[in-house]
Amino acid sequence: MKAMQIKDYGPASDLSLVEAQKPSINEDQILVQVGAAGVNPVDTYIRSGTNNYSANFPHTPGSDGAGTIAELGAKVVGFEIGQRVYFSRNLTGSSAEFAACAATHTYPLADALSFEEGACVGIPYTTAHRALFGRANGEAGDKVLVHGATGAVGIATVQLALAAGMEVVASSGTAAGADLLRQQGVTNIIMHNEADHLAPYQSLETGFDIIIEMLANHNLDQDLKALAFSGCVSVVGNRGTIEINPRDLMARDASVVGVALANVKPAELALIAKSLRPLFEKGVLKPVIRHSYPLTELAQAHEDVLKSGALGNLVIRIN
């Protein structure tokens, strides 16, 4: 089968198209013929060996994907050959014609979603759900800042928060991003490249109950000063260190929590998938695809996904 692979930790340009052996599965696994693969920042961290991520080589990138079930392990129940599914945390890499997937991390794909859309669910929507509900205990009426809202996780968070009846403020770095957020139904948009963009929110009266933070190393210090009483910052993304004043947490009875999808147990993942599906079927949630690349352009997608000014999810078309 065709796959994009890299032989050792290195730049995206080291990725090349190879003819690889079709994966074999064990009795607990599912072989999926991949229709489309999602591209997420974590894929680039694994490829380059940063942030303590590691890979086996040759490495086929890609955690997220969607497609049809080609083979079923003997002990797998609740699925059938030919069924449309999406998955995350697969075993062999989704940038390939087939991927071996753990049955515990594979879910039915909503009829309303294409494979390309389905490839946007695993990491972005599950992370957004975990950050908003599982970690920050969000509920209707909460005032939520989605800080860096135009990327794949950001848009998923905006859609989930609006669907749950929260008051959403979202930040963008570009006019195009602000337009995208308005299309998503956000009426209160702030531009995070403007100085003091959080100043109007930095009092207990005007602060946020929840801040979903995509770049904590840039924003956490000012975020803490923009929390309401007992507010919470959910850290979803981070690329370095930052100086904070812990007294900001004391003054507000506030908290900072880390969010990482790899830490979520299968039972909670299954509940999240179950709660997302009807919202996809009804169109309440709908992935935004910024760009779709052929498999051979995976290197370009790895470079693009780390650029600022994101406008949704990047996906790779495969079958």
Q: Which residues bind a second copy (CB under 8 A)?
A: 51-52, 135, 213, 216-217, 220, 229, 235-236, 238, 240-260, 263
Q: What does DSSP say about strands 29-39 and 313-317: parallel, antiparallel, or unpaired?
A: antiparallel
Rounded to a whole number of angstroms, the minimum distance from the CB of residue 220 to a second copy is 6
Closest CA to 260 of 216, 304, 221, 204: 216
What's the distance, CA 14 to chain centroid?
Answer: 24
CA gap 174, 45 in Å, rounded = 25
Contact of 217 with 239, CB cutoff 8 Å: yes
- Whether residue 58 is preceded by a cis peptide bond, meaning omega within 30 degrees of 0, is yes
Residue 129 vs 252, nearer CB to a second copy? 252
Residue 18 vs 249, nearer CB to a second copy? 249
Residue 48 vs 217, nearer CB to a second copy? 217
DSSP state for residue 297 in the 8-state scheme: G
Residue 68 vs 238, nearer CB to a second copy? 238
- Cα Rg of the chain, angstroms: 19
Residue 269 vs 318, nearer CB to a second copy? 269
Residue 31 vs 131, nearer CB to a second copy? 131
3-class state of residue 318 by DSSP: coil
Closest CA to 100 of 169, 31, 54: 31
Rounded to a whole number of angstroms, the minimum distance from the CB of residue 16 to a second copy is 30
DSSP state for residue 88 in the 8-state scheme: S
Residue 21 vs 241, nearer CB to a second copy? 241
Rounded to a whole number of angstroms, the minimum distance from the CB of residue 41 to a second copy is 12
CA gap 133, 130 in Å, rounded = 6
Residue reference for tokens 């490829």: 47
Rounded to a whole number of angstroms, the minimum distance from the CB of residue 191 to a second copy is 23
Any idea how long the chain is?
319
Residue reference for tokens 């890609």: 62
Rounded to a whole number of angstroms, the minimum distance from the CB of residue 231 to a second copy is 10
Rounded to a whole number of angstroms, the minimum distance from the CB of residue 156 to a second copy is 17
Residue 54 vs 241, nearer CB to a second copy? 241
Rounded to a whole number of angstroms, the minimum distance from the CB of residue 225 to a second copy is 12
How distant, in Å, are the alpha carbons of 25, 89, 224 from that of 40?
25, 12, 27
Rounded to a whole number of angstroms, the minimum distance from the CB of residue 236 to a second copy is 8
